[in-house]
Structure 1
């Protein structure tokens, strides 16, 4: 039996929550800290969970809640800017034939499901709390928390996202880089007849799309070339998104009339990042967006983060010692899977930025998604 260890998980997003649940199940003592007081309870509009994400959520024991809270579908529609359906493509079942192809759901709802599972696991949770690495040796890490307390842990898992302070603190200098694209997102009522994700290419934006997130809800998004965020007043977010979205037909007029509250519209740049060589320094290891990120052109960000947590937990609960060899095995197992997704996600966007009309987007997507059917 694996002896119980002490673990500090820094960050309560998808990766941090997942690894906490799995390590607690194995009997390890886990403290999870999250910088935000509300535990990201209202962050984001919608999320697309493909089969390989659902596979991990099943392992966490929350799949039934996810399916009940979201909206499953098995295809994506490609439409013209005026709403004419050009093609319907079946989604690959990247989690295996016994799982849905895709479930769309409200991102805050997913966060609540995972955070409730963390609480139920018996992990200690401290919100509004950050960590400072004081030092480490071959057996553990000394940490000071922002509440003034200090402790020593056998392992620190950095799941603190794209701007990870822990990543920088352990000397990993890689930072996210913008790709040149940006996305407007909003949650809205779901028009009758919307049964799947649909994407329009062209018009005033690169992509205008939407995805059902429940029986009565969806999230809609518009992708354009990135602008200086400082030049867009927060109060104008709804106006800006509505201006772009109003050029699209089909279901879009019903969606656009609900884009009225700037506080409910999110604007972010697309970033890319991939930490190469290793995802650990001593007894501090990176997971999720702290180690890699990519544009959502393949909708794989959350899935890759959940897979990181699953693979790391498998290794940490196995018979091997918690040493450099184990953490390097984690990196090598993940990098071979993550790198192609990051590169493909970036490439799809770059083809659009460059105006490449004969790019083999379907082929690249199919090759990448087929690879993801294999167990991570």
Structure 2
């Protein structure tokens, strides 16, 4: 059976699910995508992206749209709390000599770019719909849906995120997401003239940074230790975020602090992680993205490894002369170590920040991780 003759269901319309739909359609598969949110919305402020993500964008055919609507630049500037730059983290041009080594974009804008490409691919998209149950045999998977339909597929891909219902049904003993003891604040602000690349200020335990997301906007991100995952009243967001910047006298940060207000689209997110041990599949059902390897944002690679999952899965299915189960085994073998590295190294970076720990270890993990991410997938 060739990929062009296969019927594939993707459950979940996030970044990894949309990427899978785009690439599988490019290779000729018949693809259905169901997404529970009838509005196909994506919440959040900005998202920072490394060169490996831009490489994935190029393969998906959305790189030009990203460059037009987001922002790309080389290097990450590291500064002291009072302002002086002390280092610059290099970002290799992984996506090609003509493409900067990193960048950022507003998360809803990236979601719209991917959604447009998914629609253009010819995938059958059903919004406000998800599965209710599935049963499988050696030849396929029968799926029942919330809209009353029942369809049969050669493969089902679970891409429904951190709190995945597919994972719960397929692997009920899988670990649950774990709170990291750290949270991140994000806000969208008018771009300052001096901010033309990602810039971070290295406080003892609180780490602010900014990244341009377009020609006119930038987003602020601030990580802080929070021993318990308590509710934070949105009415307090502005004052709390301003307070986190009180200990930083850097003029740029103080200018940003003064701009913060109710208009700043402030988002607060407790950071959680998840790494599901292999296998990530059973029979003809496979899990990808945050469903099996959700990471904290310290390496700016969570979206990246989910999109890479989609591309590698599509590639292995296309070459899978030995059938779907063999292709899924090859997919997992290629993905496990890279995804484990991102999840575990990101977690360790967070631990060092929470503890106010060894900055040399922090820098060493960052360097080795970025070098590993530059490798082919």
Task: Indicate if the aligned counterparts of 2:206 and 2:244 stay in contact, CA closer than 8 A.
Answer: no
Displacement of 1:341 in angstroms is 1.6
Contact 1:294-1:345 within 8 A present in 2 as well: yes
Secondary structure of the corresponding residue to residue 294 of structure 1: coil
Q: Which runs of 5+ in 2 are unaligned?
A: none
Are 2:294 and 1:293 equivalent residues in the alignment?
A: yes
Contact 1:46 1:104 in 2 (8 A): yes
The residue matched to 1:91 in structure 2 has which SS? coil
Q: Does 1:130 align with 2:127?
A: no
Deviates more, 1:323-332 or 1:290-299: 323-332
Shift, 1:230, TM fit: 4.4
- Bigger mean CA deviation after superposition, 312-321 or 65-74: 312-321
- The yes-or-no answer on 1:363 pairing with 2:361 is no
Alignment partner, residue 175 of structure 1: 176
What secondary structure does 2:210 align onto? strand
Per the alignment, residue 270 of structure 1 pairs with 271
Per the TM alignment, residue 8 of structure 1 is displaced from its structure 2 partner at its CA by 1.0
TM-score, normalising length: structure 2: 0.94
- The separation in 2 between residues aligned to 1:92 and 1:265, in whole angstroms, is 31
Give the conservation status (yes or no) of the 8 Å contact 1:11–1:32: yes
Distance 1:26 1:69, change over 3 A: same
Q: Distance in 2 between matches of 1:314 and 1:277?
A: 20
Local SS of the residue matching 2:274:
strand
Structure 2 counterparts to residues 61-76 of structure 1, below 5 A: 61-76=61-76
What number of residue pairs does the alignment pair up? 374
Unaligned runs of 5+ in 1: none
Moved more, 1-10 or 330-339: 1-10
How far the C-alpha of 1:119 sits from its partner, in A, is: 0.5
Counterpart residue number, 2:20:
19
Matched-pair contact (CA < 8 Å) for 2:320–2:327:
no
1:180-329 matches, cutoff 5 A = 180-202=181-203, 205-226=205-226, 228-248=228-248, 249-261=250-262, 264-329=265-330
CA gap of 1:338–1:97, structure 2 versus 1, over 3 A, is: farther
Report the counterpart of residue 158 of structure 2 in structure 1: 158
Q: CA deviation at 1:98?
A: 4.8
Using the alignment, how far apart are the partners of 1:319 and 1:34 within structure 2?
27
Shift of 1:97: 4.1
Q: Deviations over 1:252-293 (max 9, x none)?
A: 233223322288211111222111121111111111100101
| Distance (whole Å) between structure 2 residues aligned to residue 95 and residue 374 of structure 1 | 11
> Which residue in the other structure is 1:7 paired with?
8
- Match for residue 84 of structure 2? 84
SS in 2 for 1:251: helix
Instruction: Tell me: CA distance 1:20–1:307, structure 2 relative to 1, closer, same or farther (3 Å).
Output: same
* Structure-2 separation of matches of 1:330 and 1:86: 41
Residue matched to 2:111 = 111
Q: CA deviation at 1:234?
A: 2.0
TM-superposed CA distance for 1:358, in Å, is 4.9
TM-score, normalised on structure 1? 0.94
Bigger drift between 90-99 and 1-10 goes to 90-99
- 1:22, distance to aligned residue in structure 2 (A): 0.8
Are positions 1:333 and 2:334 aligned together? yes
Distance 1:250 1:35 in 2: 45
For the aligned residues, what is the CA RMSD?
A: 1.8
Q: Offset at 1:113? A: 0.6
Q: CA deviation at 1:321?
A: 3.7
CA deviation profile, 1:73-118 (whole Å, cap 9, x unmatched): 1111111222222222322334454532002111111111100001
Find the aligned partners of 1:189 and 1:268 in 2 and give their Cα distance. 22
